Chain A
Amino acid sequence: MTTSADVARIETGAAIAAATRRTSWLTAWQTAILSAALIVILLALVIPPFVFLVQGSFTIAGPTPSSWTWGLGNFETVLKGRHIVTTTINSVVFAAASAALALLVGWVTAWIVERTNTPLKPLAYLTAIISLGTPYILYVTAWLLFFGKAGPVNHFYRTLTGNTDVLINIYSMAGMVLVEGFLWSPLAFLLVSATLRNSNPELEEAARVHGAGVWQTIRRVTMRLSLPSIMALAMLVFIRAVEAFEVPALVGLPGRISVLTTDIYTNMVARAPPDIGGSSALSVLMLLLVFVLLYVYGRLSRHAERFATITGKGFRPRPFDLGRLRYVAAGILVFNFILLLLVPMLMLVWVSLLPFFQPVSAAALKLISLNNYRTVLDSGQLELMLNTLMVAVATATVAVSLTFVAGWLAVRRAPGGWIVDRLATIPLVFPGLILGIAVMQLFLAVPIPIYGTLGILVWAFVINYLPYGMRYSSSGMLQIHRELEEAAAICGATPLTRLRRIVAPLLAPALLAGWLFIFLMSARALSLPILLSGPRSQMMAVAMFDLWGNGQGTELAALGLMWSMLMTAIAMVFYFVARRSASGALGRA
């Protein structure tokens, strides 16, 4: 039986339902629209560099643009050239040896710092933090000065023995490995200590309780547990060393030891006109190599995460009591600190005070002045700093904004979220130098007038650092309990409101850490901007590279020291933010 009241009620119900259907359309599609927009943006950023690089590699240059043809000629030239084999072997040997060295130093220091009662632990962090802010090029030049022919090491050796030869020839494969290994060891330290912190100390304690001694526990539990993540880390450092540019360019080129990156570089700059085709072909081959290596890395790190048992209790394990050995361990930390931080810094300070390079001696003391600093401040170097800061700030802001939304879409499995995730991670395969070549060709072909401006640098840097931003954003997202967002949805908040009022504030520490990381990385990068910087868009690291090339080592030292002081201050902030955000994202970068 249907009464009129029932009919009325059913009608209102239908009316409400219809109204809801109309408004619900928009809110239900908010996420989808956001996802689609992001996919479009990421496609526009990530795909063109590939296309133009591949196109460049198949283009055979002729005397005029109209005579350009397509073909495999570039690849033939590259592969037939006799030294492709030597170059590749050099690359692999260099990368493997320096990764091994960096990890050895990094693991030993990390274990001492995280798991023992050794005094003077802050020294290790100090070394690592300052190295985060210092451009690699500055470090490399410092060690070149220190170990070089006229540097204190060889000078001392000659005075001591009366010989005229050198003790260490830094311009050799061994020298390259040494410097690259030193460069990477502070970061290896931070990465390893993050994994050690994430591992469950109860597993070690269980071994101790059941009768294992310190060394047995290390060998049979700690080492075995951290092996997968160490393998993954080794792979990561290996890949980064294959892509390295600073050391091969500054140490390898003078020593006539060429690797893949320097080959690409010399094809571009040491010939007139630049051999874009040859460089592109070599770049494509190298991309394939990096792709394979990254695939292996992905497998290794997935394996590593099985053992990463984050307890979330936040308690520190009882450190191993090393007894008297802890003074030996402290000695290692001090030695590490001296070699990785004090020596290069003092070397730079010494050089920056001299009019021209001289070995350390009493006679040289008379020449000391602040003239270099004055020259640096008087010349246009301030604009240079400003340029670099602007590019770094813009890059970090754009990359973090994009990856904030991307990370949310990916972790919450929004429609299209996995595409966003893939797209934002793809640029990992680009070594900086190759991305530079690709973006260069892109903007030579596309009629957007940003070639030679800071804009092109920001464009390229954003692509380069998207994967890092993604790591910070998604590992931060994973720590935000799903129910915190669901509760907001139940309360009536639309997806955009949720993103603004719940996700953004909670993700802020991780995003800030990501922002600072990208800022620091782009402020010191050399290989990406080296081919993209024009006269009006100089970057700090590129300028330092040029100063070194022109033999203005003393000015370089003065400029570099001032710059790294500023960057160290920012790196300090970064370090504390990253620790507080507790995202452990540093360990996954």
Chain B
Amino acid sequence: MGRGSLPVLAAGPPLQLQRSWTIAMLRVERLTKIFENSTDQIAGGIREAEFELAPGTFFTMLGPSGCGKTTTLRCIAGLETPDAGVISVDGRALFDGERKLNVPVEQRAVGMVFQSYAIWPHMTVAENVAFPLTVMKHRRYSKAEIGAAVAKALAVVDLDGFEERPAPRLSGGQQQRVALARAIVHEPRLLLLDEPLSNLDAQLRDEMRSELKRLQSKIGITTVYVTHDQSEALALSDQIAVIDHGRIRQLGTPEDIYFRPANPFVARFVGATNLLAGRLVGAANGRGDVEVLGRHTIKCLVPSVIADPASVSVSIRPESIRLVPRAGAASPSGDNRIPGKIAGVTFLGATRRVDVASDGVTLQVTAAADHPLPADGEVDLLFAPERTVALPGKVS
């Protein structure tokens, strides 16, 4: 399913696990790790996380800071001991709360890139990258083997010839590449990335993002990626888990997450959106009618089960709305139409952000920079039902 194609609806539970017939590369079941914070009664951590990754998947855990995504990653790595649950890699259990099994971190044989890169400043690039091979217990590598493996890993990250460079004399982007080389040199089955791009400046971040994607598909390694940046998650991932307050709020492909958010949190966290409180008047076959702003009934998708019809939010992306003159051009068949008045315009370069007030609610609309706007500001908002999603729960 391409990014641009219209989504075909598949009804199902909101947290759909991707079950594959092969043994999953990574399986996480009912993973729970709770940090009781004594100062303010907020308990951080992760609760009941479940997912399964097919070999080669690029999986992203996305969420605001403190949501539990890094905790989950550190549990998989073995840097934290979960309270309960099961973690297994390639059929081998690394942690099992009930069987009291906990493989120590140094025996899990995974690769990891840390947020700070954690390049050891007292070693050269080659010594940093060779480290995993020199501490292996079950196999001794010869000098030649290590040299070859290091050269290969450095070639993968385009750092050929940097072997003898002392680690402190590396730029941020180079440190990141070294960290990546170190994480793959021992050919682990799982690569863990903890916000690896967050310490880079904007331009380098874009560059490394595409680099990372290219690398991952080249090596084909199963990757778990943690970020709070939704654009990174959408660009890189095969699968995304959106996490909030220690719970996985939605699990799915980037398209699922973006076009068919399961709840108002996901809709708002991934991409900008307008959320309107409403009341579900009727639903069938994944489609339905919602009454919003007290008097307009709009058609929309209803991808998830809505328990309380009186408590519904409707999500409309700013770029899904078109502005037309009031009662001007006839609407294309079936599009929703709401009247409004322009309250403000912000020039953003390629686009303009137009704030439109409608019945006391302000909606954001993304319009082309050269899109004509009526002088009196009286407009109609047009948006397709396929781009309008009804979600359970009121706007908070």
Q: Do A and B bind each other?
A: yes
Interface residues of A (CB under 8 A from B): 9-10, 13, 16-17, 20-21, 23-24, 27-28, 481, 483-484, 486-494, 497, 501-502, 505-506
Contacts between the two chains (Cβ within 8 Å), count: 92
CB-contacts of B83-137 with A (<8 A): 91-93, 101-112, 114-118, 120-122, 131-132, 135-137
Q: How far is the CA of A486 from the CA of B179 in the complex (A)?
A: 13
* B105 close to A489 (CB less than 8 A): yes
* B101 close to A21 (CB less than 8 A): yes
> Shortest Cβ distance from B130 into chain A, in angstroms?
10
Q: How far is the CA of A490 from the CA of B114 in the complex (A)?
A: 10
Interface residues of B (CB under 8 A from A): 23, 77-79, 91-93, 101-112, 114-118, 120-122, 131-132, 135-137, 179, 182-183, 186, 192
Q: Nearest CB to that of B129 among chain A residues?
A: A491
For B105, list chain A residues within 8 Å (CB): 486, 489-490
For A493, list chain B residues within 8 Å (CB): 106, 131, 135
* A27 close to B106 (CB less than 8 A): yes
CB contact under 8 A between A13 and B118, given known A20-B107, A27-B104, A490-B77: no
> Shortest Cβ distance from B10 into chain A, in angstroms?
26
For A28, list chain B residues within 8 Å (CB): 102, 104
> Shortest Cβ distance from B63 into chain A, in angstroms?
20
For A484, list chain B residues within 8 Å (CB): 118, 120
> Shortest Cβ distance from B150 into chain A, in angstroms?
13
* B91 close to A490 (CB less than 8 A): no
> Shortest Cβ distance from B98 into chain A, in angstroms?
13
* A494 close to B106 (CB less than 8 A): yes
Q: How far is the CA of A538 from the CA of B91 in the complex (A)?
A: 68
* B92 close to A492 (CB less than 8 A): no
For B111, list chain A residues within 8 Å (CB): 490
Q: How far is the CA of A483 from the CA of B175 in the complex (A)?
A: 14
Q: Nearest CB to that of A487 among chain B residues?
A: B118
For A27, list chain B residues within 8 Å (CB): 104, 106-107
* A481 close to B77 (CB less than 8 A): no
Q: Nearest CB to that of B88 among chain A residues?
A: A13
* A491 close to B104 (CB less than 8 A): no
Q: Nearest CB to that of A16 among chain B residues?
A: B92
For A502, list chain B residues within 8 Å (CB): 120
For A494, list chain B residues within 8 Å (CB): 106, 135, 137
> Shortest Cβ distance from B198 into chain A, in angstroms?
13
* A491 close to B91 (CB less than 8 A): no
CB contact under 8 A between A488 and B92, given known A20-B103, A24-B103: no
For A497, list chain B residues within 8 Å (CB): 135
Query: Most chain-A Cβ atoms within 10 A of its Cβ — which of B23, B101, B105?
Result: B105
* A17 close to B101 (CB less than 8 A): yes
* B137 close to A9 (CB less than 8 A): no
Q: Nearest CB to that of B108 among chain A residues?
A: A490
- Could you list some 6 contacts between A and B, CB below 8 A? A487-B182, A490-B78, A490-B110, A490-B112, A494-B106, A494-B137
Additional 15 contacts, C-beta under 8 A, given A13-B93, A20-B103, A491-B182: A13-B91, A16-B92, A28-B104, A481-B118, A483-B115, A483-B116, A487-B114, A490-B78, A490-B111, A490-B183, A491-B106, A493-B131, A494-B135, A501-B131, A505-B122
Q: How far is the CA of A489 from the CA of B104 in the complex (A)?
A: 9
Q: Nearest CB to that of A28 among chain B residues?
A: B104
> Shortest Cβ distance from B128 into chain A, in angstroms?
9
* A489 close to B91 (CB less than 8 A): no
Q: Nearest CB to that of B79 among chain A residues?
A: A486
Q: Nearest CB to that of A486 among chain B residues?
A: B79
For B78, list chain A residues within 8 Å (CB): 489-490
* A491 close to B77 (CB less than 8 A): no
> Shortest Cβ distance from A501 into chain B, in angstroms?
8
Q: How far is the CA of A488 from the CA of B121 in the complex (A)?
A: 13
Query: Most chain-A Cβ atoms within 10 A of its Cβ — which of B106, B111, B117?
Result: B106
For B182, list chain A residues within 8 Å (CB): 487, 491
* B116 close to A506 (CB less than 8 A): no
Q: Which 10 A-B pairs have the closest CB atoms?
A: A491-B132, A487-B118, A483-B118, A483-B114, A493-B135, A489-B105, A505-B122, A490-B112, A13-B91, A492-B106
Q: How far is the CA of A442 from the CA of B52 in the complex (A)?
A: 63
